[in-house]
Amino acid sequence: MSASRTELANAVRFLAIDAVEAAKSGHPGMPMGMADIAEVLWNGYYRHNPVNPKWPNRDRFVLSNGHGSMLHYALLHLSGYDLPIDELKRFRQLHSRTAGHPEAAETPGVETTTGPLGQGLANAVGFALAEKVLAQRFNRPGFDIIDHTTWVFLGDGCLMEGVSHEAASLAGTWGLGKLICFWDDNNISIDGNTNGWFTDDTAARFEAYGWQVIRHVNGHDPVEIDQAIRTAQAETGKPTLICCRTAIGFGSPNKQGKESAHGAPLGKDEIALTRAALKWPHAPFEIPDAVYDGWRARDAGTKRNAAWNDLFSAYAAAHPEAAAELQRRLSDALPEGFAEQAAAYIAKLQAEGPVVASRKASQMAIETFAPLLPELIGGSADLAHSNLTLWKGSKSVAGSDADANYVYYGVREFGMSAIANGLALHGGFLPYDATFLVFSDYSRNALRMSALIPANVIHVFTHDSIGLGEDGPTHQPVEHMASLRYIPNNDVWRPCDAVESATAWAEAIKRRGGPSCLVFSRQNLAHQPRSAQQVADIARGGYVLFESQPGACELILIGTGSEVELAVQAAKQLAEKGVAVRVVSMPSTTVFERQDAVYRESVLPAACRRRIAVEAGTRDFWYKYVGLDGAVIGMDSFGASAPADQLYVHFGITVDAVVSAVDNLK
Residues marked active site are found at 413
CA distances from 18 to 7, 68, 71, 270 (A): 16, 13, 12, 12
- Cβ atoms 661, 612 nearer than 8 A: yes
In angstroms, the CA 109 to CA 297 distance is 13
The residue among 257, 225, 77 whose CA lies nearest residue 151 is: 225
3-state helix, strand, coil in the chain (%, to 5): 45, 15, 40
Provide the sign of the torsion angle of the four alpha carbons 624, 627, 628, 633, taken in this order: negative
Q: Residue 289 class from Cβ within 10 Å (0-12 exposed, 13-18 middle, 19+ buried)?
A: exposed
- Cβ atoms 366, 391 nearer than 8 A: yes
In angstroms, the CA 661 to CA 151 distance is 59
Beta strands in 412-567 (DSSP E): 430-436, 458-462, 491-493, 516-519, 524-525, 543-547, 555-559
In angstroms, the CA 79 to CA 84 distance is 11
The helix/strand count (H/E) of the chain reads as 27, 20
Helix (H) or strand (E) holding 151: strand 150-155
SS3 243: strand
One DSSP character per residue, 412-430 reads -HHHHHHHHHHHHHHSS-E
- Cβ atoms 97, 107 nearer than 8 A: yes
One DSSP character per residue, 75-98 reads HHHHHT-S--HHHHHTTT-TT-S-
Q: Residue 475 class from Cβ within 10 Å (0-12 exposed, 13-18 middle, 19+ buried)?
A: middle
- Cβ atoms 434, 134 nearer than 8 A: no
Helix (H) or strand (E) holding 632: strand 631-635
Provide the sign of the torsion angle of the four alpha carbons 51, 56, 457, 593, taken in this order: positive
In angstroms, the CA 421 to CA 416 distance is 9
- Cβ atoms 420, 433 nearer than 8 A: yes
The residue among 536, 632, 546, 538 whose CA lies nearest residue 587 is: 538
Q: Residue 579 class from Cβ within 10 Å (0-12 exposed, 13-18 middle, 19+ buried)?
A: middle
**Number of neighbouring beta carbons within 10 Å of residue 552:** 12
Q: Residue 335 class from Cβ within 10 Å (0-12 exposed, 13-18 middle, 19+ buried)?
A: middle
- Cβ atoms 598, 530 nearer than 8 A: no
In angstroms, the CA 450 to CA 122 distance is 13
